[in-house]
């Protein structure tokens, strides 16, 4: 079956440091999405990338979609305590199913 | 606007008992519907997805089943719960075309004892 792996599984950073999580798929994706899940909450959509090599920014967050549409990354510049949570990528192959990555749990130390 | 309702929020069930979790969506038609399970501190495992009434795709063999009796209703069931069925169950919907952003319900925390 389709697999979407994320690394690292956990990341502890000092407030103000940068953070990056990487997502890799075993198959080519039609699009990739990123979600954030706060502790005790449900995943909330952040962004969708569709085009090969696409880069999108949301304030301190930068999202990239690989040229082969099999990998993606999320980079947070100068982390804040409000960035705490688990970040998931989710890939689609076709228009229906949506497979989530294993997630990266970010802890920000004040 | 679209909303998704999932209930109950928490559930404690004995081993061997049946399960029925319900999810309904408002404000959209013909959504794609999903059931995910999240074990404590783990990722989201896709259990079932549906592209229409009566159309269910199962992603992993397991003790659970899903049904979609109406366009905006998705039900997760089990005849006999196992201890390993414990987890956080999330229902989600997305559009069938265009932006496939998934919207999640609040989740059901199931503990099988």
| B41-99 pLDDT, tens digit each | 778 888 999 999 999 988 776 789 999 999 999 999 999 999 999 999 999 998 876 66
Q: Is there a contact between B99 and A95 if contact means CB atoms under 8 Å apart?
A: no
* Model pLDDT, residue A21: 98
A vs B: CB pairs below 8 A: 60
The pair of three-digit structure tokens given for residue A55, joined into one six-digit string: 């880069």
pLDDT at A4 over 90: no
User: Which residues are registered as beta bridge partners of B67?
Assistant: B75
Residues of A in contact with B104 (CB under 8 A): 42-44
CATH numbers and ranges of domains, chain A? 4-109 (2.60.40.10)
Q: Is there a contact between B43 and A88 if contact means CB atoms under 8 Å apart?
A: yes
Range of the domain at B86: 3-112
Q: What does DSSP assign to residue B54?
A: T
According to DSSP H, which parts of B35-80 are helical? none
CATH code for position B50? 2.60.40.10
Number of domains in chain B: 1
pLDDT at A1 over 60: no
Handedness of CA A60, B43, B105, A96 (dihedral sign): positive
Q: What does DSSP assign to residue A82?
A: G
The pair of three-digit structure tokens given for residue B60, joined into one six-digit string: 């992993």
Average pLDDT score over residue span A43-48: 94
Structure confidence by residue, pLDDT tens digits, A50-107: 999 999 999 999 999 999 999 999 999 999 999 999 999 998 876 567 888 889 999 9
| Distance from chain centroid for Cα A60 | 14
According to DSSP H, which parts of B9-92 are helical? none
* Model pLDDT, residue A63: 98
């Amino acid at each position: 079956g389709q697999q979407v792996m994320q690394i690292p599984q956990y990341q502890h950073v000092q407030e103000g440091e940068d953070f990056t999580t990487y997502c890799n798929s075993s198959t080519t994706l039609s699009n990739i999405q990123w979600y954030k899940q706060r502790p005790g909450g449900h995943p909330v959509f952040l962004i969708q990338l569709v085009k090969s090599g696409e880069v999108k920014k949301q304030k301190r967050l930068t999202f990239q979609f690989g040229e082969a549409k099999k990998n993606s990354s999320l980079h947070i510049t100068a982390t804040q305590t409000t960035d705490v949570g688990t970040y998931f990528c989710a890939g689609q192959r076709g228009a229906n199913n949506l497979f989530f990555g294993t997630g990266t749990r970010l802890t920000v130390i004040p | 606007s679209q909303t998704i309702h999932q209930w109950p929020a928490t559930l404690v069930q004995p081993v061997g008992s049946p399960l029925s979790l319900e999810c309904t969506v408002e404000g959209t038609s013909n959504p794609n519907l999903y059931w995910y399970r999240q074990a404590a501190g783990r990722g989201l495992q896709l259990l079932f997805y549906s592209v229409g009434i009566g159309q269910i795709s199962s992603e992993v063999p397991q003790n659970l089943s899903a049904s979609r009796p109406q366009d905006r209703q998705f039900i997760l069931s089990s005849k006999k719960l196992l201890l390993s069925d414990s987890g956080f169950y999330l229902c989600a919907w997305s559009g069938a075309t265009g932006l496939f952003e998934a919207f999640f319900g609040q989740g059901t925390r199931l503990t099988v004892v």
